[in-house]
Amino acid sequence: MNNNYPIIIKTYNLTLWYINKLSKLPKNHRFTLGEKIQNSLLDLLLLLNDAVYSKNKKTILTQANKELEKLRILSRLMQDLKLLSVDNYRFVTSYINEIGKMLGGWLNV
């Protein structure tokens, strides 16, 4: 893992936390909503890693931003379906917001 990029570390930590939560979802949500969230998290993490090594960072970071927005929507849905507690939702949104600020800063460089 590239430790020179705090956004990658933050995204990795959110991915690790979320995957543990998603494994405890009821079956009717684990293979739909849970899988979508997990795929979005992994896609985001890999896009950020790709951006580190790419000359065309803006395109990749724009894709990463789209994945982050998907996570916002899917996390809200998890909370509305009572699959995430209010405290867990606050935790997730604080991470997503922080990652979003870092991503925005990287996009504007």
Q: Is 1 exposed, middle or buried (0-12, 13-18, 19+ CB in 10 A)?
A: exposed
How confident is the model over 50-66, as pLDDT tens digits?
999 999 999 999 999 99
Question: What is the mean pLDDT for each group of 10 consecutive residues in the chain (109 residues)?
Answer: 87 97 94 96 97 94 97 97 96 98 91
pTM of the model: 0.93
Output the 3-class SS for the chain: CCCCCHHHHHHHHHHHHHHHHHCCCCHHHHHHHHHHHHHHHHHHHHHHHHHHHCCCHHHHHHHHHHHHHHHHHHHHHHHHCCCCCHHHHHHHHHHHHHHHHHHHHHHCC
